[in-house]
Structure 1
Amino acid sequence: MAVIHHTTLRPSKTELLADWLPTRPWYRGGPAPELEKSGGFRLDDPEGEVGIEFMVVTDTTSPERTAYLTPLTYRGAPLEGAGHALVGTLEHGVLGKRWVYDGCHDPVLVAESLALIAGRAQAVAQSVSDTPDHEVTRSCTGAPLALAGFAPEPADDRDGTRLPAPHGTVLHVHRVLDPVAENPPLPSPGAVGHVATGWAGPDGDRLRAVLMTLRAA
């Protein structure tokens, strides 16, 4: 499992996202969100080159406190052909300059997300090295997802991000998170796969939601 470096980041991840979020069609807030990091988890890149993080950030500018899912990848060099998906760059105190991408456009994150749904990848703790995150739940009731030659082609709209996936399926990434009472959260009827987890609420409670849903196209 990946080693998590506890070090300085300039700018911070939330500072990068505060500039980027208002440019997204699924963003619900004003021009200057005030973000706090509320939770999330990581996945391991089998090649050990790309950092993969699913971060939940909460916009606190209104009493409703809107939570957003921001899948991110961190690379040591630009991802060819993905300039439109660049969230920004930051200086990492150990690793140096990192290029931060909207992970829905990064083939490494998308492949590992589908592997997580299929049960072939393990979610790991966001801030602790070598630690599985057992709060993350997943399901897959369809055929095994063959990923050879798969390239992501995401589309954003007000409801989130959708990516055509193998075997005639579509992966819906829920960008604006809607907490539910179930623990663990359950996918909506008709889903053939999903990923869900929890994050910190304003009063120390745990809020929970489905983060990604796999459906037949």
Structure 2
Amino acid sequence: MSIVHKATLTPSKKEIFGAWLATQTWSPGELVDTIGSYRFDDPAGKVGIECVLLEVGESVVHLPVSYREAPLAGAEDFLMATTEHSALGTRYVYDACADAVAVRALLAAALTGATQEPMDVYDQGRLVDRRETVVTATGTGSWSGNAVPHFDGVTIRSHGAESRIETGSFVVVVKRVVDDSDADGAESIQVTWPGGAGSLVGVRHR
């Protein structure tokens, strides 16, 4: 279960994503609308992990994001923005490809065949709603959770419309601009959304 707080963010997610995409040379245009998102949880409960699908120009963009309560050391170049969350206070919003906690969550999901977490909405500590699933995400692997290794950091080898991240003995490939090709990997995260489907995260040994 992924906990979503009923709250306001200033600036909003759409404002953050739109401003950040405008600085990316690979972005296919201006942000038009948000399609939906899927989440996998940080087992420690510290980092929010959300992969957002956006309508950008005439394309679909897949944007993994992490939300932290404090700055992430060594990831200054990957900070999208800070935002004031009415329930949680200041939140630091990162491109999740540079966040080892988020990358491990995607790696684990691909290897173990996990499905995205349901999004339960809480207001002042009380469950008030469960968000409708618009985007679904499922890993293809069959590993046990205990077999997925831990690691301390990530190294980004390419960063753009498709990002390649090295971590431990694995390469994690994240497709950002959705096209007719699948993310490279022996295992993957298969994502569906209204009007589309594809392998947007791939995992392979290096």
After TM superposition, give the deviation of residue 54 of structure 1 in Å. Answer: 0.5
Contact 1:142 1:192 in 2 (8 A): no
Cα distance change, pair 118–132 in 1 and its aligned pair in 2 (3 A):
farther
More strand by share: 2
Among 186, 192, 195, the alignment partner of 2:186 is 192
After TM superposition, give the deviation of residue 124 of structure 1 in Å. Answer: 1.1
After TM superposition, give the deviation of residue 14 of structure 1 in Å. Answer: 1.4
Identity of aligned residues (%): 30
Contact 2:158 2:165 in 1 (8 A): no
After superposition, the C-alpha distances for 1:170-211 in whole angstroms (9 at most, x for unaligned) are 21100001268xxxxxx57x73111011223xxxxx311211
Cα distance change, pair 145–51 in 1 and its aligned pair in 2 (3 A):
same
Cα distance change, pair 127–39 in 1 and its aligned pair in 2 (3 A):
farther
1:57 equivalent in structure 2: 54
Cα distance change, pair 208–88 in 1 and its aligned pair in 2 (3 A):
same
After TM superposition, give the deviation of residue 80 of structure 1 in Å. Answer: 1.5
Q: Which structure 2 residue ranges, 5 or more long, are not aligned?
A: 122-128
2:69 equivalent in structure 1: 76
1:203 equivalent in structure 2: none
* Cα RMSD after superposing both structures: 2.9
Structure 2-normalised TM-score? Answer: 0.82
After TM superposition, give the deviation of residue 146 of structure 1 in Å. Answer: 4.2
After superposition, the C-alpha distances for 1:100-142 in whole angstroms (9 at most, x for unaligned) are 0000101110111111011175421357577896932221379
Residues of 2 paired with 1:161 and 1:105: CA distance?
A: 10
Matched, 1:209 2:179: no
2:40 equivalent in structure 1: 43
Structure 1-normalised TM-score? Answer: 0.78
Residues of 1 paired with 2:168 and 2:131: CA distance?
A: 30
**Any idea what SS the aligned residue of 1:19 has?**
helix
Residues of 1 paired with 2:174 and 2:196: CA distance?
A: 18
Cα distance change, pair 132–48 in 1 and its aligned pair in 2 (3 A):
farther
Residues of 2 paired with 1:156 and 1:145: CA distance?
A: 27
Contact 1:172 1:212 in 2 (8 A): yes
Q: Which structure 1 residue ranges, 5 or more long, are not aligned?
A: 181-186, 201-205
